[in-house]
Amino acid sequence: MKILSLVLALLALAVVASHTVPSPEQYWNNKLPNTPMPKVVQEILHPEPLGEKSTSVNVGGGGVNLNTGKGKPGGTVVNVGKGGVNVNTGKGKEGGGTHVNVGGKGVGVNTGKGKPADGTHVNVGGKGGGVSVSTGHKGKPVNVNVSPFLYNYAATENQIHDDPNVALFFLEKDMHPGETMTLHFTETTEKSTFLPYQISQSIPFSSNKLPEILTKFSVKPGTEKAETMKNTIKECEEPSIRGEDKYCATSLKSMIDFSTSKLGKIDKAVSTEVEKQTPKQKYTVAAGVARMGGEKTVVCHKQNYAYAVFYCHKSETTRAYMVPLKGADGTKAKAVAVCHTDTSAWNPKHLAFQVLKVEPGTVPICHFLPQDHIVWVPK
């Protein structure tokens, strides 16, 4: 997945360089000139450095060539020309490494792997919508828990016991200085990047196109990656609950456009920030809890997918807060909390009701946002 993220980042760079379209940063500044970009968006746009390998970009009549391999076999090469985009991160072996081709036929990725992991268990808390994935040995079914931030789903038994996002739910009455909560803010490990808007629109994103999608990204059907991608698409296609407008943004431009279309002028776009990564521990609510805006917000939850996809939904029955926290080890956090004042349309077996022991529609239910989720607040 890291190789694929690198490939997509290079692909985005090449496409932007070869067309007279604004970069994601330019589009943000044009549409949101007075709104600082959240840290999570900056990190998605600029994934971790490539290391010590040199990078060169050549733009000519034949397109763009980007090489990050010091001229040695095994470097990463991106070519953009009339035939589309080609990315090769092979290690000098014929047929090895990663190959991406973008032309009239879309995007093709081959990582040279294709074998499912044996006995793999991935528990992702705050790493793409709180999806938990587990697989057994080869040939056994893959189990994917739904995101706890989708309110028309019932929690699974495994999710209730194993999902670290369980601890993120609390009651609004408990959000006051001196209150303690046991939390685990996990660092994002899925470094999937945004695709340029034009590319994202050319790639299918629907359940009936799943075989084509998996083929394009060289993901073997039945693996945890395939099931997670399938689950993300399915969640995006589910109908909204009462009082909710939902949309899955497959590019930064589409996320900005959805948020501004629903809220008008944006005052803030914020995400949870933690001073450093720590194990699960007790946090104390510090002084300075601040409400942001009224009861109309857009919240976008990052999903697990081959590239950056955000599940966004607008509600007019939410209250957003910035909550200062201090961990038992002294770690400080600025956590974004969203409180839902009307939960009557939620699934009665949703994770929050089972954890907090309350009934739908009775009391406001709150949750902290993982570090790679965003809340948009209007002016």
User: What tens digit of pLDDT does each residue of 236-289 get?
Assistant: 999 888 888 999 999 999 999 999 999 999 999 999 999 998 888 999 999 999
- Per-residue model confidence as pLDDT tens digits over 43-91: 999 876 544 333 333 333 333 333 333 334 333 333 333 333 333 334 4
Does position 174 have pLDDT exceeding 60, yes or no? yes
Lowest-confidence pick of 19-23, 125-129, 256-260, 333-337: 125-129
Q: Taking residues 103-126, report their average pLDDT.
A: 35
Q: How many CB atoms lie within 10 A of CB 11?
A: 25
Query: Can you give the pLDDT at residue 243?
Result: 81
Alpha helices in the chain (DSSP H): 2-18, 24-31, 39-45, 157-162, 197-202, 210-216, 224-237, 252-263, 351-356
Does position 298 have pLDDT exceeding 70, yes or no? yes
Lowest-confidence pick of 97-111, 256-270, 344-358: 97-111
- Per-residue model confidence as pLDDT tens digits over 6-33: 455 555 555 444 456 788 999 999 999 9
Place of tokens 């997670």: 228
What's the distance, CA 379 to chain centroid?
Answer: 25
Query: Can you give the pLDDT at residue 68?
Result: 35
Q: Taking residues 190-200, report their average pLDDT.
A: 88
CA distance 73 to 90: 7
Q: How confident is the model at residue 358 (pLDDT cuts 50, 70, 90)?
A: very high
Q: How confident is the model at residue 148 (pLDDT cuts 50, 70, 90)?
A: low
Cα angle: 190, vertex 194, 196; to 5 degrees: 160
Mean pLDDT for the chain overall: 74
* Better pLDDT: 219 or 96: 219
Q: Are 293 and 377 a contacting pair, CB within 8 Å? A: yes
Q: How confident is the model at residue 326 (pLDDT cuts 50, 70, 90)?
A: very high
Query: Can you give the pLDDT at residue 212?
Result: 96
Query: Can you give the pLDDT at residue 292?
Result: 95
Sort strands 310-315 and 318-327 into parallel, antiparallel or unpaired. unpaired
* Better pLDDT: 115 or 33: 33
Query: Can you give the pLDDT at residue 60?
Result: 32
Cα angle: 307, vertex 311, 314; to 5 degrees: 150
Q: Taking residues 324-338, report their average pLDDT.
A: 96
Q: How confident is the model at residue 126 (pLDDT cuts 50, 70, 90)?
A: very low
CA distance 12 to 308: 12
Query: Can you give the pLDDT at residue 290?
Result: 96
- What are the angstrom distances between the C-alpha of 261 and each of 12, 93, 288, 298, 316? 25, 49, 31, 10, 14
* Better pLDDT: 138 or 149: 149
Sort strands 63-67 and 273-274 into parallel, antiparallel or unpaired. unpaired
Query: Can you give the pLDDT at residue 3?
Result: 52
Q: Taking residues 87-99, report their average pLDDT.
A: 38
